[in-house]
Amino acid sequence: MRLIFLGPPGAGKGTQAKLLTERYGIPQLSTGDMLRAAVAQATEVGKRAKAVMDAGQLVSDEIVNEIVSDRIDAQDCAKGFILDGYPRTVPQAIALDRMLDSKGLKLDAVVELKVDEAALVRRMENRVAETVAAGGTVRSDDNPEAFKRRLTEYREKTAPLSEHYAQTGQLKTVDGMADVEAVTAEIDKILA
Q: Is 48 a catalytic residue?
A: no
Measuring CA to CA, which residue among 161, 155, 190 is closest to residue 91? 161
Q: Of the listed 139, 149, 155, 189, which one is catalytic? A: 139
Q: Is 149 a catalytic residue?
A: no
CB pairs under 8 A, 24+ apart, for 118-127? 119/177, 120/8, 120/9, 120/10, 120/11, 120/147, 120/151, 121/147, 121/148, 123/10, 124/10, 127/10
10 annotated ligand-binding residue = yes
Q: Is 139 a catalytic residue?
A: yes
7 annotated ligand-binding residue = no
165 annotated ligand-binding residue = no
∠ CA 13-15-18, nearest 5°, is 105
Q: Of the listed 13, 48, 123, 172, which one is catalytic? A: 13
157 annotated ligand-binding residue = no
Q: Of the listed 50, 88, 114, 148, which one is catalytic? A: 88
Q: Of the listed 50, 114, 127, 148, which one is catalytic? A: 127
80 annotated ligand-binding residue = no
91 annotated ligand-binding residue = no
> Which residues participate in catalysis according to the annotation?
13, 88, 127, 139, 150
